[in-house]
Structure 1
Amino acid sequence: MSNTSTISRGAGRSSAPGRRRDDNPRPARPSGLRPWIIPYLLLIPGLVVIAGLLLYPLFQMIVISFQKVGIAQINGRRPTDWVGWDNYTRILGSEIFWSSLRNTVVFAVVTVTLTLVLGTAVGTLLNKLGRKMSTLVVIGIMSAWAVPPVAQGVIWRWLFDADAGVINWALNLLPDGLSDLLFGRSDWTGEPWLNDAVTVYLVLIVCVVWASFPFIAVSVLAGLKGIPAELYEAARVDGATPWRIFRKITFPLLKPVFAVLTILSIIWDFKVFSQLYVLMNGPTNREAFNLSMFSFAEAFRSPPKMGTGAAIAVILTLLLLVVTAVYVRQIVKTEEM
């Protein structure tokens, strides 16, 4: 009896639900692979692409900036010569570098400000339009943003052409009295807008703002869609003006969006090259150089001095890193306060 009951109890235990070890088996894990390593393994392909496309060229640019690289070195007739800090010393002692730096900074400050203000205004307007009209306007302005930089330069070079430009033709249509009152002259035939450094940058500012503000507007519109409408209704009930509503509700809630857009605009506008190259028809006017154009002229204009051009590019990169770091630091401090 005892043996039979013992066997029966043992059989009962073995057949009881939830008692077997293989009822809920754990997922197999590769031997020797810890879970915390998996995310880093998944990042490796992206890091390899970034290193190949960005970090390696950046490293080569830094190396070349300490070398003398000319036609003889490019053709392989002579080895590259290490010149240390000579390229940087020569650049910092050049008047063209300091005028290029001034042009770069002033242009970036003006263009970033105008782009953000205009883009924010258009984005706010789009948010108030109906769905069909808003979609139509977005398609229209994004067509300008989609135009390649070289094509942008061609369009605005044609508009401001001295002989066949639309701008001179339109200004000549103004009544002489109105034109004299506004501009101090009535005849605009053959006005060479693109020969002077100041007017070249005025055209460049218009060109870049025209092509850049649609991205700002659409980004601001996307941010506005995420703000609850109840906040605006409550503010209107309290009698708040549109400017006060923007300052107290819209701007604080869109600070992260404005932070990213400002950083991107600074980086883009500091590096403007294609539009300026097309407007000036190449590096022809040294007074109108920015750092990108100065780097190109030194590196590729005869006789090529690629070491000097690389040194200018390194300085521009460091300048962008400093400006971006300072701006991000200010944002972080503001958020902490």
Structure 2
Amino acid sequence: MTNTSTIPRGDGRSATPGRRRDGDRRAGRPSGMPPWLVPYVLLVPGLLVIAGLLLYPLIQMIIMSFQKVGLRQIRGVPAEWVGGDNYSQVFANEIFWSSLRNTVLFAVITVTLTLVLGTAVGTLLNKLSGRMSLFVVIGIMSAWAVPPVAQGVIWRWLFDADAGIINWTLNLLPDWLSNLLFGRSDWTGEPWLNDAITIYIVLIICVVWASFPFIAVSVLAGLKGIPSELYEAAKVDGSTPWRTFRKITFPLLKPVFSVLTILSIIWNFKVFSQLYVLMNGPTNREAFNLSMFSFAEAFRSPPKMGSGAAIAVVLTLLLLVVTSVYVRQIVKTEEL
């Protein structure tokens, strides 16, 4: 016999057992969005912000590099499309090639010095006690926290020809020692920031001083994750400090060094603020890098913003090529 009894519900109506109510069916129904799509949907707001702040200006810069943009266009006259003329003029300019040389040489020297000094300081911090390590970290990170413009102001003042501490300190050296080291004894009024070579010497010191703390702290964080037993075993085997670093520390910190190298390359290829302050504006063409050359072309009278944009595009492509080659080598190494 079929049981047709009903069970009373709270609202006075009855429901047949074994049947699910409509509300229950709706509650158990899966949402219309596939689970694999949820992470991508959550990324949309961030991607929109990135597109608005980075992608849109980049596209506009590329478009401008194929146009003639000057004072008339700033006043509202439509820009004239010139095709690749801006690039032809840039590549035919001797200042572009000297700026490219300065950019590459500066990046190679600065990246190397920053990584070597940062690694040495990070290794030293790992050897110090907790309080002393914290004290040194706070001290060096103060330099890293200084804004780029302020960095340029500090080092421009230190190397000032008339009131700079560097010239005053060099004059304190005994004449025989100064002649032995530098071939001269009088440093009064030495114009460090007039010649392209000395400008870049000061710029390298400035950038390395402000950049190595980040490398040091990153290396210190990586060293904290290496088991101490490995170093104890190496010490028992009679390994030298250099061999220990080469066989244990460097291989285990290779991912950290790879990321730090890429970041350093990007940062040092784009150096502008410190050089602008040290040179007191785009005054010495021999000391231009690509960033300064782009600024000078775009904003010095008469402004040629199309040419400035073309130089910026070349710099961006150069950075993409360098970083992509380096990342590819990292991926190949990891696969092996």
TM-score under structure 1 length normalisation: 0.92
Please give the alpha-carbon distance, in whole angstroms, between the structure 2 residues aligned to 1:21 and 1:239: 76
Aligned runs of 1:205-224 on 2, under 5 Å?
A: 205-224=204-223
Please give the alpha-carbon distance, in whole angstroms, between the structure 1 residues aligned to 2:64 and 2:97: 22
Please give the alpha-carbon distance, in whole angstroms, between the structure 1 residues aligned to 2:239 and 2:29: 61
Query: Which residue is 1:16 aligned to?
Result: none
Query: Which residue is 2:62 aligned to?
Result: 62
Aligned runs of 1:1-337 on 2, under 5 Å?
A: 28=28, 31-76=31-76, 78-337=77-336
Q: Which amino acid aligns with 1:326?
A: V
Please give the alpha-carbon distance, in whole angstroms, between the structure 1 residues aligned to 2:19 and 2:225: 52
Match of 2:173, SS state, is coil
Task: Give CA deviations for 1:229-260 in whole Å, capped at 9, x if unaligned.
Answer: 11111111111111111001000000100000
**1:35 shift after superposition:** 1.6
Query: Which residue is 2:15 aligned to?
Result: none
Alignment root-mean-square deviation, CA: 2.0
Please give the alpha-carbon distance, in whole angstroms, between the structure 1 residues aligned to 2:219 and 2:49: 31
Match of 2:163, SS state, is coil
Please give the alpha-carbon distance, in whole angstroms, between the structure 2 residues aligned to 1:323 and 1:336: 20
Query: Which residue is 1:14 aligned to?
Result: none
Q: Which amino acid aligns with 1:144?
A: A
Q: Which amino acid aligns with 1:167?
A: I
Please give the alpha-carbon distance, in whole angstroms, between the structure 2 residues aligned to 1:106 and 1:299: 24
Query: Which residue is 2:12 aligned to?
Result: none
Please give the alpha-carbon distance, in whole angstroms, between the structure 2 residues aligned to 1:82 and 1:321: 26
Please give the alpha-carbon distance, in whole angstroms, between the structure 2 residues aligned to 1:256 and 1:21: 56
Please give the alpha-carbon distance, in whole angstroms, between the structure 1 residues aligned to 2:215 and 2:258: 12
Please give the alpha-carbon distance, in whole angstroms, between the structure 1 residues aligned to 2:220 and 2:32: 49
Please give the alpha-carbon distance, in whole angstroms, between the structure 1 residues aligned to 2:25 and 2:116: 60
Q: 1:30 to 1:105 in 2, by over 3 A?
A: same
Identity %: 82
**1:263 shift after superposition:** 0.2
**1:332 shift after superposition:** 1.2
Q: Which amino acid aligns with 1:74?
A: I
> Where does structure 1 differ by over 6 angstroms across 4 or more consecutive aligned residues?
19-22, 24-27
Please give the alpha-carbon distance, in whole angstroms, between the structure 2 residues aligned to 1:253 and 1:318: 32
Task: Give CA deviations for 1:88-125 in whole Å, capped at 9, x if unaligned.
Answer: 00000110000000000000000000000000000000
Please give the alpha-carbon distance, in whole angstroms, between the structure 1 residues aligned to 2:64 and 2:263: 27
Aligned residues: 323
Match of 1:239, SS state, is coil
Task: Give CA deviations for 1:31-66 in whole Å, capped at 9, x if unaligned.
Answer: 422222211110110000000000000000000000
**1:336 shift after superposition:** 1.7
Q: 1:182 to 1:38 in 2, by over 3 A?
A: same
Deviating more after overlay: 133-142 vs 235-244 = 235-244
Task: Give CA deviations for 1:141-198 in whole Å, capped at 9, x if unaligned.
Answer: 0000000000000000000000000000000000111101110000000000000000
Please give the alpha-carbon distance, in whole angstroms, between the structure 2 residues aligned to 1:138 and 1:101: 35
Please give the alpha-carbon distance, in whole angstroms, between the structure 2 residues aligned to 1:308 and 1:277: 19
Q: 1:127 to 1:83 in 2, by over 3 A?
A: same
Q: 1:27 to 1:280 in 2, by over 3 A?
A: farther
Match of 2:193, SS state, is coil
* Structure 1: gaps (5+ residues): 12-18
**1:218 shift after superposition:** 0.1
Q: 1:231 to 1:26 in 2, by over 3 A?
A: farther
